Chain A
Amino acid sequence: MNNPLSEKVEATPAKRLQVRFRFDLQSYALIIALILLLLIFGICTDGEFLSSRNVSNLFTQMSVVAVLAIGMTLVIVGGHIDLSVGSIVGLTGGVAAILQVWFGWSTVAVVLVAIAAGALLGAWQGWWVAYRAVPAFIVTLGGMLVFRGILIGISKGQTIAPLEDSFKLIANSYLPYALGYGLAGLAVVLLFMGTARKRSRRQKVGLLPVPGWIDYGKATLYSLLICLIAYMLNRYYGIPLPLLIVVCLAAIVLFISVKTSFGRYVYAIGGNVEAALLSGINIKRNVLYVFVLMGALAGVAGVLLTSRLNAASVSAGSNYELDAIAACVIGGTSLMGGKGNIVGAIIGALIMASIDNGMSMMNIETFWQYIVKGLILVVAVWIDISSKRQA
């Protein structure tokens, strides 16, 4: 077949621009969907949905699923799936609560133990998937039951509460206003510096020149968004700490996925495992690492959840794996592997949280939330697939 994009086309700058634009529009579709959703809920609740207080709640609510979605993106990109993260959240959160409430461990210690426990559970599953070649679906389906069972066993079926104030603060505190604005300002500065650096580097190696107004326009747009969010949050109690944690984790994992060989390998393994193997990539070790990372992030999520609820219960984190997978998929991650991005997953998590939050504000019965979320998941994937078919 003739190749519309690459072959024998005189590559005029205008054409290049066109190609880039079309590509970008696809990733903006998600943002447009999010904005539409926010507007609809805003109108249906007479603006209450977009109030500072609710936006702050929304970010806090989405934080647990967002942390899971960050790790899940890498798992799915690598061509696997993790159905056990909900149970890991419950178990690590439970372990943290037990150690603190029953044994009086300090907050720092229990947080570290919870994250380490998550990583260990991830390593256990990763070992089965990578070195024993059991499909991840089965391994993590098993893990989902095993870990939940362990949680019920060690907690003796009780809800464990209350935790120390310092532990509660993790998910229930806010940054001082000045610090909030400071961080927002820092983010804006970094954004522009990063854009300038990227441009000069691209120029040096002679890559496609993207017109400055696009690059800087984008940076300006993002900056405005950051400032707007910071302003809204500061009109309430300030930037919630969980949001800061999500942003930092996302930035770290994004960096890993783009700037390290490990990240590149994960995409290659998910994209074509045989080609990756012949390229000398150690498939098993990299898959193991992905599961360890997922487990550690699930540990963080477990701490966040226990802290927010100020309690650990046997059902904590149930069904979170589905929310996390849905967030990834809505954010453009392909279940076939090899394709996906973390920013999309976070937007996906925000969309899922908005639906929960917005619909309950509109006093719509809970059962509708399930129906709507399920339908949105299917439609999102359908849109993704059909847009690819056209291209």
Chain B
Amino acid sequence: MEPYALEMIGITKEFPGVRALNQVSFAVRRGEIHALCGENGAGKSTLMKILSGVYPHPTYEGEILLNGEPVRFKNIIESQRAGIAIIYQELALVPEMTVAENLFLSHDYMRKPVIDWDLLYAEAMRWMNRIGLHVDPQTKVKQLSVGQQQLIEIAKALTRNLQILILDEPTAALTEHEVAILMRILKELKATGVTCIYISHKLGEVMELADTVTVLRDGQSIGSTPIAELTQERIITQMVGRQLSELFPYEPRDIGDNILEVENYSFTADSGKKLIEQVSFQVRKGEILGIAGLMGSGRTELFTSLFGALPGKKQGIVRIEGKVSQIRNPSDAIRAGLAYVSEDRKRYGLVLGMDIIQNTTLAALKKLMKGPILDQATEVARTMEIMERMRLKSASLQTKVGQLSGGNQQKVVLGKWIINQPKILILDEPTRGIDVGAKYEIYKTMNELAKEGVAIIMISSELPEVLGMSDRILVMAEGTIKGEFRRQDATQENIMACATGGKNREQSAV
């Protein structure tokens, strides 16, 4: 049998007060795709940071063998030289530079006193062909989609004598279509002998791609299992250490009257680009309305513009509880009973340097005033109430939200809006990049809110989630609504067909 491409033996890593990894061992065979699964905070990223030299030797205990040889990386450059490339959730490209410049940023081509641009572009083309991405190498990276940028990152890694490719949640920001391309390319790379470590919460992808799955829980390795012996449910059980009764705790409930009615709504951005065209829909009290569609289909733009957060020109009628409503800015929207949980919580949802209390009450301060002065006692009490309800895990409410895990951050963002007691709650990708346990709790909170009569609009790229949680599903493409499905009629196939503009535009009456 071939030696392992990579072995990590007895890795222990401690941070002040916390043991992040405890005697973790795992081994990756050459040319396999090895999935690393675990809830947020289980230690996956820490393990990969040790492998890539972000946490240098000897700040950890244990040994790393690369092709049977012990290695000790003191920094990222050493691990890169050894052929280890890590692609993070947040991409590390220079947006203002061209594709070719990014590909060869740290390459010898760029270090020559005079750069041979023709050679550079030709080389760039060669690598891009290899990963099947056909864009002009002189395009600026910022003009590419997230999926394309990710492929550039992979190409960049390939240009450097790649031994082991590590992908950390690569599909978190990708559309279904882009995910399919990524999957295909990873399989092709595997055929050419590239070893890949794949970190993901999306177990469907793991099941499709991986040869072996290693699960981490609370800093310990639960074990490595060949994919043939696994099911999604078994991986989840290993990850959470308990059985989740079901993935999507949908409960049928009473649905009330229309609360939000949108008629012939169009939106043109300040740039003159028409983003939303002739959209009409209603949401009812206690209903969970799923919004499906590919990225760029206008889902986020529709709701951010309705919320008043997107500068531009609006046409059409928006009625809230039967009354025509003019929303010019988020402040108006909040007053009208709307709440919007953004898809990018770090950018649009949270002030990372503020603590849990300050973030939770940020949109509700006006209700917490005693005259001109903040009523801090009530502020703290309300926050505690909400966070207990959300089952937030944190040592203190005075923890800065920047220090929380993704799942807990999402709970803070959600709590920040629940405290305002909205009538219409818009959730944009509410479970992106968070672990299974936190997802489940967010679903449960959604159910509870819907039961209390809140209308919930959930935009999501994860079809199982849309199918699992929604009472009704709208499918968007090209800035307008292409189809509407009742819960019982919706399937992954007919929604995808509708979203990709297929012929299957069946309109189910509701």
Contacts and interface: CB of A to CB of B under 8 A. Distances in A.
B372 interface: yes
Interface stretch (B234-242, B276-284, B395-403, B459-467): B395-403
B253 interface: no
Interface string A1-34: 1111111110100011011000000000000000
A279 B15 contact: no
A366 interface: no
Residue with the highest number of chain B CB atoms closer than 10 Å, among A7, A259, A271: A7
A interface, how many residues as a size bin? 35 or more
Contact of A15 (B17, B329, B372, B408): B17
Residue with the highest number of chain B CB atoms closer than 10 Å, among A2, A19, A271, A277: A2
A1 B342 contact: no
A137 B15 CA distance: 40
Contacts, number: 143
A261 B404 contact: no
Contacts of A5: 17, 395, 399, 403
B330 interface: yes
A338 interface: yes
B374 interface: yes
A275 B18 contact: no
Interface string B157-195: 000000000000000000000000000000000000000
A277 B403 CA distance: 22
A371 interface: no
A8 B393 contact: yes
Nearest to A208: B396
A279 B362 contact: yes
Given A2-B20, A2-B46, A264-B374, A278 B351 contact: no
A204 B375 CA distance: 14
Contact of A281 (B20, B331, B369, B380): B331
B18 A4 contact: yes
A189 B377 CA distance: 23
A259 B330 contact: no
Contact of A271 (B354, B372, B376): B354
A272 B374 CA distance: 21
Interface string B370-382: 0011101100110
Contacts of B342: 278
Interface string A280-322: 1110000000000000000000000000000000000000000
A255 to B, nearest CB: 9
B226 interface: no
A369 B395 CA distance: 46
Nearest to B218: A8
A333 to B, nearest CB: 12
**Interface secondary structure of B, over-half rule:** mixed
Given A8-B393, A201-B377, A205-B381, A2 B18 contact: yes
A16 B15 CA distance: 16
Contact of A275 (B16, B335, B351): B351
Given A3-B403, A5-B395, A208-B398, A278 B43 contact: no
A147 interface: no
B17 A9 contact: yes
B49 A1 contact: yes
A205 B46 CA distance: 36
Interface string B341-366: 01000011111111000100011011
Given A260-B372, A279-B362, A6 B49 contact: no
A275 B373 contact: no
B396 A11 contact: yes
Given A6-B395, A275-B347, A275-B349, A1 B45 contact: yes
A46 interface: no
Contacts of B99: none
Nearest to A263: B374
Contact of A205 (B17, B377, B398): B377
B351 A206 contact: no
Contacts of A108: none
A268 B351 contact: yes
A5 B403 CA distance: 7
A265 B364 CA distance: 11
A364 B381 CA distance: 56
Contacts of A208: 396, 398
B104 interface: no
A9 B17 CA distance: 9
Given A2-B18, A3-B404, A259-B374, A282 B331 contact: yes
B384 A206 contact: yes
B347 A274 contact: yes
B331 A207 contact: no
B394 interface: yes
A18 to B, nearest CB: 7
Contacts of A275: 347-351, 362
B405 interface: yes
B331 A6 contact: no
B186 to A, nearest CB: 24
Contacts of A2: 15, 18, 20-21, 41-43, 45-46, 219
Residue with the highest number of chain B CB atoms closer than 10 Å, among A5, A15, A276: A5
A146 B482 CA distance: 57
A33 to B, nearest CB: 23
Nearest to B342: A278
B340 interface: yes
Given A3-B405, A205-B381, A267-B353, 16 more contacts: A1-B46, A2-B15, A2-B43, A3-B403, A3-B404, A16-B395, A16-B396, A207-B380, A267-B351, A267-B358, A277-B309, A278-B307, A278-B342, A279-B362, A280-B331, A282-B329
27 contacts: A1-B49, A2-B15, A2-B43, A3-B41, A3-B403, A4-B16, A4-B18, A5-B395, A6-B393, A6-B404, A7-B18, A7-B41, A7-B404, A19-B395, A205-B377, A207-B397, A260-B374, A264-B362, A264-B365, A267-B354, A275-B347, A275-B362, A276-B351, A279-B334, A281-B362, A338-B351, A339-B353
**Pairs A-B, 9 closest by C-beta atoms:** A2-B20, A271-B351, A279-B363, A4-B15, A280-B331, A11-B395, A280-B334, A261-B365, A272-B351
